[in-house]
Amino acid sequence: MRLSILAIEGVPKIKDGYNPATWMLEVTSAGKEANLKVNFTDVYKNSELHRRNKQLIQELSFPCQGSKDLHFDAQYSQTFVAQCIACLWKQHLSYWRNTSYTAVRLLFTIMTGLLFGLIFWDVGLKSHRRKEQDLFNAMGSMYAAVTFIGVVNGASVQPIVAIERTVFYRERAAGMYSALPYALAHVLLHR
């Protein structure tokens, strides 16, 4: 025997074609409970359905005699190499679908390279290296150029990583791949 909310006096019947979930939410709302002077929680707790559900929960809380725990040979359904290939392919598609990001990174790298090239023009020529300080200046300028490009490219990739992190958490929780193939794909494609 099921608990019938219609057995409670004052609860209106559902109309033909009306969404049952919507109807249930409407008739069990706090306002409706107050109008009917009924506490649906108490009605359920005193019902046969509640007692049967509690008994079923007790029965299902313990494993059946002779049953064994689930066991899988591997944590992931694919091999490490297959995970790497899948992650590389996914990152490749993601990288080329985001054309504005790719274009900005490429343009910025070219512009920065040209700017540093013009600023440090002829710094590394043999004729300009008369003192030890000239060699230090050339090495410092190379360090500054590489660091600047790296920091700016790193800053431009952070919004992409923030978005992809959510996808990674969802896909890793689903057992699609581990963190290592995902990280390798990112390193290989976003260098």
pLDDT digits (tens, 9 = 90+) for 130-182: 788 877 877 887 888 888 888 887 888 788 878 888 988 998 888 888 889 99
From CA 97, how far away is CA 92, in angstroms rounded?
9
Average confidence score pLDDT of the chain: 83
Burial of 177 (0-12, 13-18, 19+ CB in 10 A): buried
Both structure tokens of 190: 């976003």
Give the separation between CA 57 and CA 165, rounded to whole angstroms.
37
Q: What b/e sequence results for 45-69 when a residue is b if at least 16 CB atoms lie within 10 Å of its CB, and e otherwise?
A: eebeeeeeeeeeeeeeeeeeeeeee
How far is the C-alpha of 44 from the C-alpha of 4, rounded, in Å?
Answer: 10
Q: What is the mean pLDDT of residues 85-111?
A: 86
Tell me what the mean pLDDT of segment 77-91 comes to.
90
Q: How far apart are CA 180 and CA 83, in angstroms?
A: 9
189: its two tokens: 């494609």
The whole-number pLDDT of residue 191 equals 58
Residue 120 predicted with pLDDT over 50: yes
Look at the pTM and tell me if it is higher than 0.85: no
